[in-house]
Amino acid sequence: MSPRKVEPAYPPLDVPKPVDEGVWIVDSGPLRVLGMPLPVRMTVLRLSDGGLWIHSPTRYDPDLHETLEIFGPIRHLVAPNSAHWTFVEAWQRHCPEARVWAAPGLRDRAQVRKSGLRIDFDLPETAPADWTRDLTQVVVPGLAGFREVAFHHRASRTLLLTDLVQNLEPDRLPAPMRPLARLAGVTAPTGRAPAYLRLAVKLKGRAPAEAARRLVGFQPERVIFSHGRWFERDGTARLARSLAWLLPR
């Protein structure tokens, strides 16, 4: 009997999957990071004004683009931290009227400046007028210029993170990668941020701890993040467990 094929990502890929009214996820990838195949995910929200807001865009696909335009015009492309920006430029080329928002400091990175990505706005500490009716946002700082901006969609009680929680299912990883993933602390069902990121954030002091307290305080029903099995239910309890390393004692 041939061994079961390992599938890191969550098919079907590059198609919108409904989560709640006006909320979709798009699974894609996998990407290779330090040799490890990572599933990757973006989230699409329809705002109160009818426009679409895309969190952490994944690879551009014309069929996906066409489908999303049925839901509404794409008005905002959001790069929520220092790692999740590489696919934004392709979406920007095909959606020239969309505004691009990026985590604070992202525009100053040499790779970003060389990429040709146009960043229209830095994400502020509080939600801008463009989506304040729908979303609350929190900036989680770290060392070495790291910032991740988290978003709470109030109508659906959905919290959107990027890398602050990773929850990789071991049976979706190649066998040699499983011990490394466990060592990094990113395996389901108790996935957290990878060890290097936990260190960079925790050493920043009280500000990220207070940000984590606010995130749990939203009491989300679900938590969507970029890598691994997202929290489809019991979001508050599972988030508190994944952020226990950061929450104030």
Question: What is the percent of the chain where pLDDT is above 90?
Answer: 89
Would the pTM count as exceeding 0.85?
A: yes
Looking from the CA of 32 toward its CB, the CA atoms found within 13 Å total 3
Q: Between vectors from CA 227 to CA 225 and to CA 233, what angle results, nearest 5°? A: 45
Give the pLDDT confidence score for residue 29 in this predicted structure: 85
pLDDT confidence tier of residue 3, bands split at 50, 70 and 90 = very low
Lowest mean per-residue pLDDT among 34-48, 54-68, 146-160, 202-216: 34-48
CA distance 203 to 126: 23
pLDDT digits (tens, 9 = 90+) for 119-140: 999 999 999 999 999 999 999 9
Q: For all residues of the chain together, what is the average pLDDT?
A: 94
Q: Is it the case that residue 183 has pLDDT exceeding 50?
A: yes
Helix axes 235-242, 206-217, angle to 10 degrees: 160
E strand intervals along the chain: 16-20, 23-33, 36-46, 52-55, 74-79, 99-102, 121-122, 135-141, 147-153, 158-160, 222-224
Give the pLDDT confidence score for residue 101 in this predicted structure: 98
Q: Which two tokens stand for residue 196?
A: 């290097």
**Other CB atoms within 10 A of residue 213 CB:** 15
Give the pLDDT confidence score for residue 9 in this predicted structure: 87
Q: Is it the case that residue 1 has pLDDT exceeding 70?
A: no
pLDDT digits (tens, 9 = 90+) for 69-114: 999 999 999 999 999 999 999 999 999 999 999 999 999 999 999 9
pLDDT confidence tier of residue 5, bands split at 50, 70 and 90 = low
pLDDT confidence tier of residue 36, bands split at 50, 70 and 90 = confident
- Give 100 or 144, the one with higher predicted confidence: 100
What does each C-alpha distance from 74 to 55, 70, 152, 202 come to in angstroms?
Answer: 11, 10, 19, 35
User: Going by C-beta distance under 8 Å and a sequence separation of 6 or more, which residues neighbour residue 181?
Assistant: 36, 168, 170, 173, 187
pLDDT confidence tier of residue 225, bands split at 50, 70 and 90 = very high
